[in-house]
Amino acid sequence: MFKDFVDLSRRGNKTDKVVPFIGAEPPRPMVPAVIEPEDRELLQSLELKSRLHEVLLDRLNLAAIDKVDPEELRREVSELVSEELKLSGKPLRGDEFRKLVSELMDEVLGLGPLEPLMADPTVNDILVNGHGNVYVERNGVLERARARFRDERHLLRIIEKIVSRVGRRVDESSPWVDARLEDGSRVNAIIRPCAIDGPSLSIRKFARKPLTLRRLVEIGTLTEPAMRFLQALVEARLNILISGGTGSGKTTLLNAISASIDDKSRIVTIEDAAELQLQQAHVVRLETRPPNPNGQGTVVQRDLLRNALRMRPDRIIVGEVRGAEAFDMLQAMNTGHDGSMTTVHANSARDALGRIEQMVTMIGLDLPLSAIRAQVASGVNIVLQVARLSDGSRRLISISEITGLEGSVITMQDIFVFRKTGRTEEGAILGEFLPTGIRPKCAEALVGAGVHFDPADFVVGRS
């Protein structure tokens, strides 16, 4: 019964409304240097919502929220709000009242002022710089949002709600955390003392409909020949490394090309925060674990990767290699787990190989550089380079093939490249993703795997 949830006699547990400060020093107010005229109404609304929110916390049994029907909760919240507004002598218009109730529901059940941004399909990233400054990215361009938090405690409460749901924590001893929302959105939070001006929260939203290779062709990121080549590479079980900078679209491309994996394969995915959206039926998803409050129980990607090798995987997909797990990934690629994929932070295909070499040296073994490069050259077949251009668009810049070793140098050749042709009057970058005219060395492997491809796709001028 809802009466077990709402204590109309105000018997609610007072500890429910106490939100302990997380950080090294008391919160200090952080407001924009200049409050825009349109923000004054927002500030007044925040004050009213803050007071009503305190009333709700005083009347609600927070432990029972998940057991209550949302519509029943909305009706009871509406009654409580109506009662408080009458006592305060501040009536609201019907639309204002409904908006206020919805915002309070977001506070109780969701992420407070961020809920409308989470529901906005045009928003890709939500960036909170302290409680008074919220930015969003739309189509690769940052803009300031009107959303804001009441104060630092309000923002900290939302951060704590996010991280606690996935069994993680953030406090003075561990002031930053990577987590994910229930819909798969990626979250990073950092608080005082490391965040000098107050807590910072970054959310990379989860695409409800992952981009497909076909869709990438439609928006101009790929051409038909390049799409067919990528599909052939996956079907022929070549090992693929996707390289790019932060926010360049590495995971998006990994999701898109993974759709070409057949349903007969057993796929094991390994991620710091699970966000891959594989569509196949036989997928085992593994996720790292941070240390507990005693500093124990850490599970890193390398642990999961070594365990995955004992799980009879056909393909291993690592969301991103960042350290010593690169060595184990190379071992997997070189010992029968063909068709594996991963991503790495790097600014070019050549730099990506250098990054892999550096990561392998992190294992502490005295491996000669020539041995590491031999492992890379034999394990990785294709490097896909993605980038976010100056106009905010995300592009596949090149498809490069590793052809072997010449002495101690890994040899590569570009099969497709993006060539800029100019800019529009609005500043959008113009260009084409074209073949270089080089027939890939892996063509024999494609034929041997029974994968069809059209040699004309690699001819310059073919689109």
CATH number of 58's domain: 3.30.450.90
Domain membership flag for residue 463: no
Residues 374 and 405 sit within 8 Å (Cβ to Cβ) = yes
Give the model confidence (pLDDT) of 103-141 as tens digits. 788 887 889 899 999 999 999 999 999 999 999 999 888
- Please identify, among 204, 239, 264, the residue that sits at the C-terminal boundary of a domain: 204
Residue 22 is which amino acid? I
Number of domains in the chain: 2
Number of Cβ within 10 Å of residue 288's Cβ equals: 19
> Looking at the DSSP assignment, which residues form a beta bridge with residue 401?
382, 413
Confidence of residue 12 (pLDDT cuts 50, 70, 90): very low
Whether residue 246 sits in one domain with residue 169: no
What pLDDT does residue 174 have?
86
Query: What is the rounded (10 degree) CA torsion for 352, 354, 356, 360?
Result: -170
Query: What is the rounded (10 degree) CA torsion for 194, 198, 199, 201?
Result: -110
Whether residue 246 sits in one domain with residue 168: no
Can you give the pTM of this predicted structure? 0.78
Whether residue 415 sits in one domain with residue 316: yes
- Please identify, among 174, 204, 234, the residue that sits at the C-terminal boundary of a domain: 204
Whether residue 226 sits in one domain with residue 148: no
What pLDDT does residue 179 have?
85
Q: What's the token pair of residue 366?
A: 């005295």
What pLDDT does residue 212 have?
93
Domain membership flag for residue 178: yes
Give the model confidence (pLDDT) of 267-326 as tens digits. 999 998 888 889 899 999 999 988 877 778 899 999 999 999 999 999 999 999 999 999
Whether residue 235 sits in one domain with residue 369: yes
Computed over its alpha carbons, how large is the radius of gyration of the chain?
26
Whether residue 236 sits in one domain with residue 118: no
CA-to-CA separations, 93 to 72, 85, 100, 334, in angstroms, rounded: 22, 12, 10, 68
Dist. CA 181–CA 87, nearest whole Å? 38
What pLDDT does residue 347 have?
95
pLDDT at 3 over 60: no
Domain membership flag for residue 87: yes
Domain membership flag for residue 442: yes
Whether residue 310 sits in one domain with residue 179: no
Q: What is the CATH number of the domain that holds 435?
A: 3.40.50.300
Query: What is the rounded (10 degree) CA torsion for 386, 390, 394, 396?
Result: -40
Whether residue 231 sits in one domain with residue 171: no
Whether residue 444 sits in one domain with residue 366: yes
Whether residue 161 sits in one domain with residue 79: yes
Residues 239 and 380 sit within 8 Å (Cβ to Cβ) = yes
Domain membership flag for residue 191: yes
How does DSSP classify residue 132? T
- Please identify, among 182, 204, 226, the residue that sits at the C-terminal boundary of a domain: 204
Dist. CA 117–CA 147, nearest whole Å? 8
Structural domain containing residue 170: 2-204
